[in-house]
Amino acid sequence: MDSGFFAYLQQLELMAFFSGYPLLYAIILLMAGNQSSKNKVRDRVVPLLPFSYALVGTLYFGLQLKNLYPDYSFENIKLSMQLPWLVGWGLLSTLFWIPVLARKPVWSLAHSLIFFFFLTRDLFIHAFQSSADKNVVRNDMKIYTDSILLNLGSLFLVTLISMLIAHLKKHERSPRI
């Protein structure tokens, strides 16, 4: 098969993991901006956004390891990566586990906009070219929906774990009778 096809599949794979994050980020910030002074969304969820993004990046890294199994040689990695710079950029999302990088949630947004660009590019091409393939936009929309769900699930899981840790710390400090 053509290497262009495999590059397109790898691009869809990257979009499936990372392109839904900007919309989730925007929705969370909108919710945080519309809350009262005791803003639970802003105080609890917004700081967790980079960790949620890092979890998605970790899942992507796991998929790459699964796809390379059992041959993790440099030659096999080189042959299987059609878009090495883009894959490398996607793998950099795992750096948001580092608290220093996670302090600025806007950095995770900036990181994910690279992948959101592919969706907007395909929509732009479809809107202004009559010869554009409708299946490309249909694939992009399915992938984008899956990405939003994956990122939402990741944020839910990270929030749940954070609340559990806070609950355990609270009960650890309370005096036992």
Its domain, for residue 130, covers 3-169
Q: What is the C-alpha separation between 149 and 23, in angstroms, rounded?
A: 11
CA dist list (Å): 68 to 62, 71, 72, 80, 105: 10, 6, 6, 8, 31
**Cα–Cα distance, 73 to 51 (Å, whole number):** 30
Residue 175 is assigned to a structural domain of this protein: no
Burial of 115 (0-12, 13-18, 19+ CB in 10 A): buried
In a domain, 11, yes or no: yes
pLDDT tens figures, 79-116: 888 899 999 999 999 999 999 999 999 999 999 999 99
Q: At what angle do helices 49-68 and 21-33 cross, to 10 degrees?
A: 170
Q: Is residue 41 part of a domain?
A: yes
Number of domains in the chain: 1
> Domain for residue 7, yes or no?
yes
Supply the pTM of this predicted model.
0.89
- The answer to whether residue 17 sits within a structural domain is yes
> Would 80 be classed as within a structural domain?
yes
| Residue 127 within a domain | yes
Residue type, 174: S
pLDDT tens-digit map of 146-165: 999 999 999 999 999 999 99
Residue 177 lies in a domain: no
